[in-house]
Chains A and B, each alone.
Chain A
């Protein structure tokens, strides 16, 4: 990754095989998501669906969006936004779960 500054003109070309392989993988995981939705995981249901979606997201980000090959700046900017998303979720959830329950109010 740090070598991207040294070769100035050459951009990494993601091989055709890799692109097709990523597409096939994404299709397989799409089937897995649909099948998994029929299995009862109880309270883990949402978690399982999100975990599978995150595996798919990894492949899209790493190969289609080149984060695996690019300068690390792009990976850092992406992770930064995800971090602040988690902060937003964390404090919102903290607020909701610690409220004193009143009838008919969220």
Chain B
């Protein structure tokens, strides 16, 4: 049932799904659903973090040696890119609430290109590692470090950053979808649920990187 606010004639009118009492109930239910999904995400990444921390405590020298192969400058750059993209994502919601549609679009575009930039830096890092044979498990073929426990470090490195990177790609796909909808003028002060939900997902991806960056690049 639509409690339609039909006063703004030119505005896109989102119809609340019939099983919700009103738009607010729909908004809150969507968000709760997304938070339940985020809980499963936290536990999925959490398992990897627990594994990382335990192995790190068991073999600190190996992890310190592994971190030496990572470029903290590229890691810092990616941290800045991702935090900035979180800001622009939050700004897109702010401007939707203010009813400034052009600003919603600008901020979504910036967020998307930040995601692209992040993956670009990641690609540079990965290609160096692959070239040097710094690969997970039995694929490890770095001549100098052969016979050490380093393959374990790089297993963690590739699985954790790989899973995180795939989340960035999914997030970029969702933001592209938001851009298409924003072009159609779907978002405004009365309806911005998709912005809010994708935003929550994007911030979680940022949050995971906030922990991954010091663990992999700095602490090692």
Contact = CB atoms under 8 A, between A and B. Distances in A.
Interface of A: 8-9, 11, 13-14, 16, 19-20, 22-23, 26-27, 30, 33-34, 37, 45-46, 49-50, 52-53, 56-57, 60-61, 63-65, 70-71, 73-74, 77-78, 80-82, 84-85, 88-89, 92-93, 96, 106
A95 to B, nearest CB: 9
Contacts of B49: 85
B71 interface: no
- What are the 4 A-B residue pairs with the smallest beta carbon separation, nearest first? A37-B218, A49-B214, A81-B39, A85-B46
B53 A89 contact: yes
**Binding site secondary structure of chain A:** helix
Nearest to A77: B35
B35 A30 contact: no
B210 A53 contact: yes
Contacts of B199: 64-65
A105 to B, nearest CB: 11
A85 B80 contact: no
Given A13-B94, A74-B32, A61 B219 contact: no
Interface stretch (B83-91, B123-131, B174-182): B83-91
B219 A49 contact: yes
B28 A71 contact: yes
Interface stretch (B11-19, B136-144, B154-162, B200-208): B200-208
Contacts of B47: 88
Interface in B71-104: 72, 76, 79-80, 83-84, 86-87, 89-91, 94, 97-98
B24 interface: yes
Contacts of B27: 11
A13 B207 CA distance: 22
B53 A46 contact: yes
20 contacts: A9-B23, A11-B27, A13-B97, A14-B90, A16-B91, A20-B87, A23-B83, A23-B87, A27-B83, A34-B72, A34-B218, A46-B53, A50-B211, A50-B214, A53-B210, A82-B42, A85-B42, A92-B50, A93-B57, A96-B58
Contact of B22 (A8, A23, A30, A34): A8
B146 interface: no
